[in-house]
Chains A and B, each alone.
Chain A
Amino acid sequence: MLKTKLFAAVAVGALMFASHAFSADKKVVAVSIPAADHGWTAGVVYHAQAAAKEINAAFPDVEVVVKTSPSATAQVSALEDLSAGRKLDALVILPYSSEELTTPVKAVKDAGTFITVVDRGLSDAFIQDLYLAGDNIAVGRNTAKYMIEKLGGKGNLVVLRGIPTVIDDERIQGFNDAIKGTELKVLDIQYANWNSDEAFKLMQDYLAKYPQIDAVWANDDDMLLGVLEAVKESGRTDIKLALGGNGMKDIVKKVIDGDAMTPAETPYPPAMIKTAIYMTVANLIGQAPVRGTVKLDAPLITQTNAQEYYFPESPF
């Protein structure tokens, strides 16, 4: 956290110096994202900073400033700070919550700033110029399709879901829709709050309750880590597949290594922030038209394409 703050401070400092020293021609792109409080947001911070570094080096007349905020209120203040006393050419924002950030982002927009919204939409879709997100329904659907194929269309499943939110609901919905009509049977589904420890416990309980489990789906990789530990400890051999979702580097590494129980993965990549920043800059610099809605698919990651999704330096 300190590092990112320092980074932001240095970036802002450098920016102020630069704008004084050079001209006002330098285009400013502010990036406002949640602070790293768990694996996925840590990945967002990592990729946002990587993008800022690359773009600042590649385009001398663009300055990308990354600002992380630990809460929705802090993010509102950050927006005020970023836009105070200087014109922002573009704002790339991953909002903490839709409702609280809508009005503050609108204020930035009204000052003539290009707005890119990532992942979580604002309450008013007319504010954004570009909206970019992953596809949570596809995360569930593609995992399910892979399971159906691997298990030959039948078997007993247990599912671990996260925190009751739209993200969680969509993943489960995509999964359930895909297995409808097959002989795959969901024995049990419970919340484990996207937490490894809770997933470990829940999986132990599933193992105690059901003598025959063919496959496990944890709708997030943090939970999958707990699941794998519980399965390993139990010594059970009936579990053929244990799949997760999100694209955590530890799990992608398993796919690369050809792990028998986790041979595939579905991404909901935090690197989408990088896509959004590059697209925004493409519009500013290259006049490339980007207005619209972009939905990243959740293509199945297997051994053949896993390297594309592997970021060993990222915390996630």
Chain B
Amino acid sequence: MSTLVGTTPLRHERDWNIGWADVGPFLALLVLLVIGFIINPDFLSATNLGNVITRSAFIAIIAVGATFVISSGGLDLSVGSMAAFITGITILFMNSMAPEWGLAAIPAGMVMALVIGTACGLMNGLIVTVGKIEPFIATLGTMGIFRALITFMSDGGTIPIDRSLREAYRPVYFGTVGGISVPILISIAVAAVASFFLYKMKYGRKCAAVGANEDVARYSGISIIKTRTIAYAIQGACVAIAAICYVPRLGAATPTTGVLWELQVITAVVIGGTALRGGKGHVWGTVAGAVILELIANLMVLSDFVSEYLVAGVQGVIIIIAMLIQKFAK
């Protein structure tokens, strides 16, 4: 990975020539689709692909936020727990408002989710930047805090959404617009906005500069604290959007919601072509990375030749091979 980004310095952003880092993840995706089709033709059925891409949406949306954090040289381990926490608090809020406000409780809850998410992200950011604590440790701490809060709120059990809201809210995960499922549309929208931020606005350039070389960025007059803190706040907002799509899927939050999502998110970002140590972020690559991860899991179930005991191992091997191909095919 390091050579990938190492050889694509800032010059790259000017002439807009499309490098391997941009195409790589999509090629890997294509190869995976072909292999999948050979193994089991059902793999390419509209229903199956629709299911897989729809459920990759949570990871994709969160990973778009993580692209900002990682690009700016940070890391956020708290996203899975944060998603569970926001899901829980949103459901509790909607349930308490439902008797008074009726269905208006749903949009109100969504707004609250976004506010809480951004605030949680901001908190992570401030601990890292102003508190000057290593991102790994800071977000490991908040990861524990968010997980404990959701466990506390649910007494270790389940927080289900009010029945009166359930049917009205369902389309946010299960609905379609023009034949495309809503979570897919939301993740495309999130990625589009993010790529505008990252590639068309000054902030994106600052982000990559801070991540690539902190000292150089500081000498160029970029505020490291501000840039990184904003990246964490964006991450928080993305987690909230994912939580909003997540609530209607099972209609409940539990202490096991979002467990290990942080690792999937980081994997998606890195498969997508963004270096873990910071530098230029690849938003669309990240989305492809999230879909790849979900496709691999799907393929494991649809194929018959992997023992149930070995699935995780084979998944690991495929991820490593995908990264090696990206690196050497250059």
Which B residues lie within 8 Å of A189 (CB)? 308
Partner of A38, one of B148, B160, B256, B301: B256
State whether B302 touches A205 (Cβ < 8 A). yes
* Chain A, range 85-135, C-beta contacts under 8 Å to B: none
Instruction: Compute how far the CA of A188 lies from the CA of B256 in the bound complex, rounded to whole angstroms.
Output: 25
Interface string of A187-207 (1 = CB under 8 A from B): 011110011110011101110
How many Å from the CB of A298 to the closest CB on chain B? 21
How many Å from the CB of A210 to the closest CB on chain B? 9
Interface string of B288-305 (1 = CB under 8 A from A): 000000100110011000
State whether A38 touches B42 (Cβ < 8 A). no
* Chain B, range 140-183, C-beta contacts under 8 Å to A: 148, 151-152, 154-158, 160, 174
User: Is residue A209 contacting chain B, with contact meaning CB distance below 8 A?
Assistant: yes
State whether B311 touches A191 (Cβ < 8 A). yes
Which B residues lie within 8 Å of A188 (CB)? 301
Which A residues lie within 8 Å of B309 (CB)? 164
User: Is residue A250 contacting chain B, with contact meaning CB distance below 8 A?
Assistant: yes
- A228, closest chain B residue (CB): B250
State whether B250 touches A2 (Cβ < 8 A). no
State whether A37 touches B157 (Cβ < 8 A). no
Partner of A208, one of B42, B250, B254: B42
User: Is residue B55 contacting chain A, with contact meaning CB distance below 8 A?
Assistant: yes
State whether A250 touches B158 (Cβ < 8 A). yes
A196-B174 CB under 8 A given contacts A191-B308, A204-B51, A315-B158: no
The range of chain B's interface size is 35 or more
State whether B155 touches A42 (Cβ < 8 A). yes
Instruction: Compute how far the CA of A35 lies from the CA of B259 in the bound complex, rounded to whole angstroms.
Output: 17
Number of interface residues of A (CB under 8 A): 41
State whether B156 touches A208 (Cβ < 8 A). no
- A196, closest chain B residue (CB): B250
User: Is residue A302 contacting chain B, with contact meaning CB distance below 8 A?
Assistant: no
Partner of B250, one of A37, A226, A315: A226
User: Is residue A79 contacting chain B, with contact meaning CB distance below 8 A?
Assistant: no
Interface string of A16-40 (1 = CB under 8 A from B): 0000000000000000000111110
State whether A45 touches B301 (Cβ < 8 A). no
State whether B256 touches A209 (Cβ < 8 A). no
User: Is residue B249 contacting chain A, with contact meaning CB distance below 8 A?
Assistant: yes
Which B residues lie within 8 Å of A205 (CB)? 48, 51, 298, 301-302
* Chain A, range 190-240, C-beta contacts under 8 Å to B: 190-191, 194-197, 200-202, 204-206, 208-209, 222, 225-226, 229, 233-234
State whether A222 touches B302 (Cβ < 8 A). no
- B160, closest chain A residue (CB): A250
Most chain A CB neighbours (cut-off 10 Å) among B43, B252, B294, B301: B301
State whether A209 touches B302 (Cβ < 8 A). yes
Instruction: Compute how far the CA of A310 lies from the CA of B44 in the bound complex, rounded to whole angstroms.
Output: 44
Instruction: Compute how far the CA of A37 lies from the CA of B51 in the bound complex, rounded to whole angstroms.
Output: 30
Instruction: Compute how far the CA of A206 lies from the CA of B156 in the bound complex, rounded to whole angstroms.
Output: 30
Instruction: Compute how far the CA of A189 lies from the CA of B300 in the bound complex, rounded to whole angstroms.
Output: 12
User: Is residue A156 contacting chain B, with contact meaning CB distance below 8 A?
Assistant: no
Which A residues lie within 8 Å of B156 (CB)? 1, 35-39, 41-42, 45, 315-316
How many Å from the CB of B60 to the closest CB on chain A? 15
Which B residues lie within 8 Å of A39 (CB)? 156-158, 254
Instruction: Compute how far the CA of A299 lies from the CA of B245 in the bound complex, rounded to whole angstroms.
Output: 39
User: Is residue A3 contacting chain B, with contact meaning CB distance below 8 A?
Assistant: yes
Which B residues lie within 8 Å of A222 (CB)? 254, 256
* Chain A, range 270-292, C-beta contacts under 8 Å to B: none
User: Is residue A46 contacting chain B, with contact meaning CB distance below 8 A?
Assistant: yes
Which A residues lie within 8 Å of B88 (CB)? none
Which A residues lie within 8 Å of B308 (CB)? 161, 189-191
* Chain A, range 44-93, C-beta contacts under 8 Å to B: 45-46
User: Is residue B96 contacting chain A, with contact meaning CB distance below 8 A?
Assistant: no
User: Is residue B213 contacting chain A, with contact meaning CB distance below 8 A?
Assistant: no
Which A residues lie within 8 Å of B47 (CB)? 208, 234
Most chain B CB neighbours (cut-off 10 Å) among A36, A205, A226: A205
State whether A36 touches B151 (Cβ < 8 A). yes
24 contacts between A and B (CB under 8 A): A1-B148, A1-B152, A3-B152, A35-B156, A36-B255, A37-B156, A42-B155, A45-B155, A45-B156, A190-B301, A194-B256, A196-B250, A197-B257, A201-B294, A201-B297, A205-B48, A206-B301, A208-B302, A209-B302, A222-B256, A225-B250, A314-B157, A315-B157, A316-B156
A-B interface, 5 closest residue pairs, ranked by CB to CB distance from nearest: A36-B156, A315-B157, A42-B156, A205-B301, A208-B48
Chain A residues packing against B (C-beta within 8 Å): 1-3, 35-39, 41-43, 45-46, 161, 164, 188-191, 194-197, 200-202, 204-206, 208-209, 222, 225-226, 229, 233-234, 250, 314-316
In the complex, besides A188-B301, A196-B254, 5 extra interface pairs with C-beta distance below 8 angstroms are: A42-B157, A208-B42, A208-B51, A229-B251, A315-B154
